[in-house]
Structure 1
């Protein structure tokens, strides 16, 4: 699943966009179409950019390539036809790499979190 995460700092007009391929391992409990899901998720960073005005700068080397986290959600899916789901993703790992200046190492405590609203379609089957 492709996900775009990030933040906007309005005081300096900079937007950070982190693009991930997320691999969820969700466990589903179904009850007459209503479902609940939860489990771990691995995100692989494919791009990271800061944008200020019309200028974009590649920032991928500053960020960790893997983002290990969790997901929890609920939704409704008919046996055939359309469905809908709402999921929350949270990260366990820090987004940014640590940096060292002299003998001081700094690790910012910044983690990803996002809500995802998604649509599905089931073609039926066994």
Structure 2
């Protein structure tokens, strides 16, 4: 049964990718049939402010990071263009958990146990947003699908336990790439301003549509450890500075 489920998931992803490839081909075929000038190109860099939405968030917080990459701008008309991007983007989240509990030992004496967990989930992606740009003077609005490939994932966790004067601590970084789905599908929407010189500033929101983890058993009782659990999806705010070469 697991093999069938895995095959079914692979088949559905392959079918979706075929449809997206056909749609992308149709868009660019339409562009080259109508465009009066060639595409322009540019580079961008900026900040990510990311978190992970989960069924049981258990203290998930936003984590700052960065993204950088390049883009091409295919003008369809004076107001509309299609802008695919190729980005290296670091996402993830911070999480923290605090608890104090009084328990009885084997002799019936009460002991106070305190625990603290602080951690970060760091996900490194290669991303391809394909966004429509609608221009209103120097102001523009953007939106469209995003396709991401996971390069590496790590969980950085610091834990402290104390019980009646006895302390225990652990600081460990674990690679979690194999636990996660390599491909992520999502969407993005934003607003920006580009000067005639080609210098631009964009504020964008990007959300994931599929669960980050391979196995659905992420719904387990991880909250007992203070860890986020349930289905998890990326959620990112991006602020980017860009420069488009040959801007008019």
TM-score (norm 2): 0.46
Provide the C-alpha distance between the structure 2 equivalents of 1:27 and 1:19, rounded to a whole number of angstroms.
25
Are the structure 2 counterparts of residues 124 and 79 from structure 1 closer, same or farther at C-alpha, using a change threshold of 3 Å?
A: farther
Q: How does 1:85-104 map to 2 (within 5 A)?
A: 85-99=202-216
**Paired residues of 1:94 and 1:108 also in contact (CA < 8 A):** no
Whether 1:64 aligns to 2:181 is yes
Matched residues in 1 for 2:120 and 2:239: separation? 22
Number of residue pairs the alignment of both structures matches: 122
2:153 aligns to what?
48
> 1:36: which partner in 2?
141
Q: Measure how far apart 1:55 and its partner are.
A: 2.5
Structure with greater Cα Rg: 2
In structure 2, stretches of 5+ residues that fail to align are 1-86, 98-116, 159-170, 221-228
- What residue is the counterpart of 1:122 in the other structure? 244
Structure having the higher strand fraction is 1
Segments of structure 1 that go 5 or more residues without pairing to the other structure are none
Cα RMSD, aligned residues only: 2.0
- Is the contact made by 1:69 and 1:90 (CA closer than 8 Å) also made in structure 2? yes
What TM-score do the two structures reach when normalised by structure 1?
A: 0.87
2:163 maps to what in 1? none
Matched, 1:113 2:230: no
- How far residue 31 of structure 1 moved from its aligned partner, in angstroms, is 1.1
The alpha-carbon deviation at position 4 of structure 1 amounts to: 1.0
How far apart, CA to CA, are the structure 2 residues paired with 1:36 and 1:71? Answer: 11
Corresponding residue to 1:74 among 191, 194, 206: 191
